[in-house]
Structure 1
Amino acid sequence: MIAQVMQDHGVHPLRQMREIFAMRGGKQKLGSNEYYSLRLYDPAIPMAQKREFLGQGGINALNTAMNPPIAVPTRSFVGNKLLYTQLLEQLGIATARTQAISSGHLSVGNMPVMRDAESLAAFLRDDATYPIFGKPYFGSLSEGSVRIDSKEGETLRLANGEARPIADFAAEVMDRYPGGFLFQTALDPHPEMARIAGPAIGCVRVLTANDGSGPKPVYAVWKMPAPTAMSDNFWQEGSLLADLDLSTGAVKSCIRGTGPAAEQLARHPVSGATLEGALLPHWQETLDIAVQAHAVFPEFGVCGFDIAVTHEGPKVLECNDNPSHMLYQMGTGRGLHNPDLAPIWDRVVDRQDKAVARMQAAMKKKR
Structure 2
Amino acid sequence: MGIKTRGNAMTDTGIQAPKGALLDGPGAAKKAEAPLIAQVAQQFGVSPLRQMRDIFSMRRGAQKLSGPEYYSLRLFDPDIAPTAKRAFLGQAGINALNTSMNPPVAVPTRAFVGNKLLYTQLLAQLGIGTSTTQALVSKFRDAGKLPILRSADDIATFLRETAQFPLFGKPHHGSLSEGSVRIDGRDGDTLRLGNGLTQDIAAFAEEVMDRYPGGFLMQTALDPHPDMAVIAGPSIGCVRIVTVNDGAGPTPAYAVWKLPAPAAMSDNFWQDGSLLAHIDLHSGEILTCVRGTGLKAERMADHPVSGAPMVGVTLPFWAETLKIAQDAHAVFPEFGVCGFDIAVTADGPKVLECNDNPSHMLYQIASGTGVTQPELAPTWDAVAQRQSKQVARLNAGTRKKR
Same topology, TM > 0.5: yes
For 1:305, which of 319, 332, 340 is the aligned residue? 340
> Counterpart of 2:171?
136
For 1:251, which of 279, 282, 286 is the aligned residue? 286
> Counterpart of 1:218?
253
Mapped pair 1:191 → 2:226:
yes
Query: Residues 210 and 348 of structure 1 are in contact (CA less than 8 Å); yes or no, is this contact kept in structure 2?
Result: yes
* Secondary structure, counterpart of 1:193 in structure 2: helix
* Secondary structure, counterpart of 1:241 in structure 2: strand
* Secondary structure, counterpart of 1:229 in structure 2: coil
Per-residue CA deviations over 1:26-79 (Å, capped at 9, x if unaligned) read: 111110010000000001111111111000000000101100000000011001
Q: Distance in 2 between matches of 1:202 and 1:279?
A: 15
Compute the displacement of 1:20 (Å): 0.1
Per-residue CA deviations over 1:301-356 (Å, capped at 9, x if unaligned) read: 00000000000000000000000000000000110110000000000000000000
Compute the displacement of 1:108 (Å): 1.1
Q: Distance in 1 between matches of 2:337 and 2:173?
A: 21
> Counterpart of 2:142?
107
For 1:276, which of 267, 291, 311 is the aligned residue? 311
For 2:327, which of 292, 295, 301 is the aligned residue? 292
Give the 4+ runs in structure 1 shifted more than 2 A: none
- The answer to which structure, 1 or 2, has the higher relative contact order (CA under 8 A, 6+ apart) is 2
For 2:55, which of 16, 20, 39 is the aligned residue? 20
For 1:4, which of 39, 56, 59 is the aligned residue? 39
1:154-169 mapped onto 2 (5 Å cutoff) = 154-169=189-204
Mapped pair 1:366 → 2:401:
yes
Compute the displacement of 1:157 (Å): 0.4
* Secondary structure, counterpart of 2:143 in structure 1: coil
Compute the displacement of 1:292 (Å): 0.1
Aligned length: 367
TM-score, scaled to structure 1: 0.99
For structure 1, the 5+ residue unaligned runs are none
> Counterpart of 1:59?
94
Per-residue CA deviations over 1:1-36 (Å, capped at 9, x if unaligned) read: 111111211110000000000010111111001000
For 2:74, which of 8, 24, 39 is the aligned residue? 39
Mapped pair 1:328 → 2:363:
yes
Q: Distance in 2 between matches of 1:226 and 1:256?
A: 10
> Counterpart of 1:86?
121
Per-residue CA deviations over 1:220-264 (Å, capped at 9, x if unaligned) read: 000000001000000000000000000110100100001100000
Partner AA of 1:62 in structure 2: L
> Counterpart of 1:120?
155
For 2:130, which of 84, 92, 95 is the aligned residue? 95
For 1:347, which of 363, 382, 392 is the aligned residue? 382
Partner AA of 2:120 in structure 1: T
Q: Distance in 2 between matches of 1:330 and 1:357?
A: 35
Q: Alignment RMSD, CA only?
A: 0.6
Q: Distance in 2 between matches of 1:270 and 1:215?
A: 37
* Secondary structure, counterpart of 1:120 in structure 2: helix
For structure 2, the 5+ residue unaligned runs are 1-35
Q: Distance in 2 between matches of 1:103 and 1:233?
A: 25
* Secondary structure, counterpart of 1:351 in structure 2: helix
Per-residue CA deviations over 1:167-215 (Å, capped at 9, x if unaligned) read: 0100111111122110100000000000011000000000000000000
Q: Distance in 1 between matches of 2:320 and 2:173?
A: 28
Q: Distance in 2 between matches of 1:85 and 1:3?
A: 49
Query: Residues 198 and 227 of structure 1 are in contact (CA less than 8 Å); yes or no, is this contact kept in structure 2?
Result: yes
Query: Residues 138 and 179 of structure 1 are in contact (CA less than 8 Å); yes or no, is this contact kept in structure 2?
Result: no
Q: Distance in 2 between matches of 1:251 and 1:337?
A: 21
> Counterpart of 2:25?
none
Identity over aligned residues, as a percent?
68
TM-score, scaled to structure 2: 0.91
Partner AA of 1:198 in structure 2: G
